[in-house]
Amino acid sequence: MIKVKDFGWGICVNFTKKHVEMSFKNKKKETSFLNQLSDSSTKVNMAEKTVETYFIDILLYVKNTLEVDMKLVRGNIEENDGQMGVVSVFLNSIEEISQVKVNIPQDLKPKENLKMIEKMHYEVLFITI
């Protein structure tokens, strides 16, 4: 299990290394963003404005609706106001890694599997952590 900034605990399902080409209209925002990514896990090529970084695919409990600016919103699993969904996050969005390992089904498409994972997620959050 992995704790993500602004979302809480989720279940890691995959990770990938990607080269991302960045383009910005605002020079200050470009410099600020590229400097934020410049950590040990991310390689930034300022000349070509490309970033080599890792993305972590995490099952997180999110609300069923998006905010006005198309952002995902953290759901409240106790209020049952959302669902489990796979969200890709930058490596530097991770706050903590748990020692708890959750075995999940390979196929995440069937609703039954997601409901089972949601139940396991709830049990781990409120019983073991």
Residue 72: pLDDT over 60: yes
| Domains and their CATH numbers in the chain | 2-19+53-128 (2.40.30.300)
Report if pTM > 0.95: no
**75 close to 128: Cβ distance less than 8 angstroms:** no
**49 close to 21: Cβ distance less than 8 angstroms:** yes
Q: For the segment 84-96, what is each residue's pLDDT rounded down to a tens digit?
A: 999 999 888 999 9
Higher-confidence residue of 58 and 24: namely 58
pLDDT at res. 117 = 92
End-to-end CA distance of the chain: 10
Enumerate the H helices of the chain as residue ranges: 27-37, 111-123
Q: Partners of 88 in the beta sheet?
A: 57
Q: For the segment 105-124, what is each residue's pLDDT rounded down to a tens digit?
A: 999 889 899 899 999 998 88
C-alpha pair distances (Å), 128 with each of 6, 14, 62, 102, 120: 21, 23, 21, 12, 11
Residue 68: pLDDT over 90: no
